[in-house]
Amino acid sequence: MAESPLLDIQDLNVVYKQSGKKPFHALKGVSLHVNAGETVGLVGESGSGKTTIGKAVLGQVPVESGTILFDGQDISHASHKVRRDLGQELQVVYQDPYSSLNPARSIGQTLMEPLLREDGITRTEMKRRVKEVLEQVGMPTDTAERYPGQFSGGQRQRIAIARAVINRPKFIVCDEPVSALDLSIQAQVLNLLNDIQQEMNLAMLFISHDLTVVRHVSDRTVVLYHGEIVEQGDAGQINENPQHPYTKSLIDAAPLPDPEAQRKKREARRKARAAANAAA
């Protein structure tokens, strides 16, 4: 039986209205979905509307028309209260690890914040969860007593990932999560996201302008161009046999870090997940 997607975006239109300027039609009839436990890579050049899609999912831009179903519920015009409750299940990791963590709060305080919403959770349990999530993202446990300023960009991004997953969401939006990091660190953070995604059976909308990066993590790839989806499908197929000229140009621009190995890895993950879902 085919399960319904966790996130299902249908015919989404977003129009930015600025006073004194012509309205800007940023998303034109975008439809895409993400199944539970699946990573969908959203790729396109700067200005194509990727962040706008993420923001629409997170309720940060007004939706002109269309629907955004999350777990079957239309959240395209969700109230603040509904959004607050959704915060347990829908999280985000941003590009810039320097501005996304409050410099005045210890890492422990930052990580505990999402837990305060969990009814009846004790302080001991919160501390245990902080320790657990820090281990999960490969950070030493004394990280909790420290402050963002004491960490590198890659370490901060690990901490931002910890904050996003500490309350065990079903879904995370990652908007260019490695684009601000040194190339040598990018692969480590991508591997971490892959591991966490698998361990937690997380669904992920993974946004990047860089197809090499998207290829590293996604099961399916969606290609956005000037606010419209020009192609979407199995990540391996899109890499090996792109149909749209724009996708071809993106692939020509991106170096190939052993795509065959990546494809095999993804295939193995997909099979393992399908088996797990069938058993559940």
- Scanning 42-50, 68-76, 114-122, 148-156 for contacts with ligand ADP by CB under 6 A, the matching segment is 42-50
Which residue in this structure is represented by tokens 């109230």?
Answer: 79
Sequence-ordered alpha helix ranges (H) in 9-167: 50-58, 80-86, 107-112, 123-136, 153-165
Residue of 4, 24, 267, 277 interacting with ligand ADP (CB under 6 A): 24
Which DSSP category does 209 fall into?
S
Residue 51 interacts with Mg ion (CB under 5 A)? yes
- For the CA atoms of the chain, what is the radius of gyration? 19
Nearer to Mg ion among residue 51 and residue 232 (C-beta)? 51
Nearer to ligand ADP among residue 55 and residue 266 (C-beta)? 55
Site string for ligand ADP, 48-87 (x = CB under 6 A): xxxxx-----------------------------------
Which residue in this structure is represented by tokens 């197929």?
Answer: 237
Per the CB < 8 A criterion, the answer to whether 206 and 174 are in contact is yes
Residue 26 interacts with ligand ADP (CB under 6 A)? yes
Which DSSP category does 109 fall into?
H
Nearer to Mg ion among residue 38 and residue 176 (C-beta)? 176
- Determine how β-strand 220-225 pairs with β-strand 7-16: unpaired
> What is d(CA 115, CA 49) in angstroms, rounded to the nearest whole number?
32
Residue of 46, 122, 124, 184 interacting with ligand ADP (CB under 6 A): 46
Residue of 5, 41, 44, 108 interacting with ligand ADP (CB under 6 A): 44
CB of 51 to Mg ion, least distance (A): 3
CB of 206 to Mg ion, least distance (A): 12
- Determine how β-strand 7-16 pairs with β-strand 171-175: unpaired
Bridge partners, 24 (sequence order): 16
Residue 110 interacts with Mg ion (CB under 5 A)? no
Among Mg ion, ligand ADP, none, what binds residue 124 when CB lies within 5 to 8 Å by partner kind?
Answer: none
Instruction: Give Cα separations from 34 to 99, 158, 185, 252, 280 (angstroms).
Output: 28, 24, 27, 27, 19
Nearer to Mg ion among residue 15 and residue 69 (C-beta)? 15
Nearer to ligand ADP among residue 100 and residue 110 (C-beta)? 100
Residue 244: helix, strand or coil by DSSP? coil
CB of 99 to ligand ADP, least distance (A): 16
- Scanning 45-53, 61-69, 71-79, 194-202 for contacts with Mg ion by CB under 5 A, the matching segment is 45-53
Q: Which two tokens stand for residue 264?
A: 């095999």
Q: State the number of CA atoms in the 13 A half-sphere of 201 facing the CB.
A: 10
> What is d(CA 51, CA 65) in angstroms, rounded to the nearest whole number?
17
Nearer to ligand ADP among residue 52 and residue 76 (C-beta)? 52
Interface residues with Mg ion (CB under 5 A) are: 51
Interface residues with ligand ADP (CB under 6 A) are: 16, 18, 24, 26, 44, 46-52
